[in-house]
Structure 1
Amino acid sequence: MNTAQPPERTSERLIAFLDAAIAISMTLLILPLMESVSEAVADQRTVVEYVREHSWQLVAFALSFVIIAMFWRLHHGILHADTSAGRRRTNLQLAWLFTITVMPVVTALTGGLDTGREVVASYIGTLAVSAWLLFTIAVVERRTRTAAGLPVAASIAAMPLSLALLFTLALLLGLLVPSYLWLFVMVLVTPLRAILLRAGVVGR
């Protein structure tokens, strides 16, 4: 009597878990602002006064929200539900998720403390580590799907590598001269991606 083999474990549950955790992390970004709103209401401050006093917190929140959303969109395009969910591959996803879940903490530090070398390094450094892990995920995903005979874009790792290189550059510059303005180097991400593809550093 033939026994039916159980289907291979896919990444469907893993993706659902990652999406839920990322959504929670994005929600937690707002908590420091909610506390400051309560204080402003208690002190009978106007909206203009509140925005003026907490402008950097608002900027940090908006910046982190956009960056996490960008990472999620890239990750969403890299990870596919029909890819086998092995232990090493899952652990890599969880390592990347850690950098996302810690973002509310470094964002709160960024919005609440003066722009010092340690604070800048913790914020941009977290982004750089997250980008390098996302690049690794893309490389592993490409190899895993290729080995399984599943379709995969050859250029899947190009954008994560571009982000990783530029966030690392911003981190090094931020260590030399502490400033979040170095994040503006990210405007070069699309040209850098094109250069990497043209040079054959990543697949076309």
Structure 2
Amino acid sequence: MVFGSIALGASAVLPQTAHAALETNSLAPDFSATASIGGHEISFHLKEALQKGPVVLYFYPAAFTKGCTIEAHDFADAVPDFKAAGASIFGISMDPIAKLDKFSVSECRSAFGVIADPDGKITNSYKAKMPLLHMASRTSYVIAQNGRVVLTYASMSPDEHVERTLAAVKALQNTKPPSSPQ
């Protein structure tokens, strides 16, 4: 199950399954939730995060599982590259916040936040819930500051999520008009 496109010119790969994620150029659903960064709980609001730059939201099935640990390590290692491009990263799972407090320290290496969505409302609004299971699919989004989805990538393999989301963030950075002096 791999699909995605960057609204900035990449070609789309059609989904191989019935799983449907948000489409590129669609408006990302706004939400507020509890997140953990380095074991410290914070209130996350997408609209506020977008005021600072693009946001990478990546949904993952469950903290402390093999693929999710690999993906968390990969994102943690790439945080400096995302920050240099002006973007922030937040993982989202249907795990309880107490579990994510630990995961944010050990596997996310206190480098980025993870959002608790135990009731699945956010996961459902982003069309990232696995059918019949109480967990998210592995789906990554890049959301531009205007709230539009510029990348959707879904694959149960953690291997290309960082590479694809970072490329989309950099592409956004390259298409940003120069800022005018104030």
Larger helix share, 1 or 2: 1
Query: Which TM-score bucket, shorter chain as reference?
Result: under 0.3
- Where relative contact order (Cα < 8 A, 6+ residues apart) is larger, the structure is 2
Question: Which entry has the higher C-alpha Rg, 1 or 2?
Answer: 1
User: What TM-score, normalized by structure 1, do the two folds share?
Assistant: 0.25
Larger strand share, 1 or 2: 2
User: What TM-score, normalized by structure 2, do the two folds share?
Assistant: 0.27
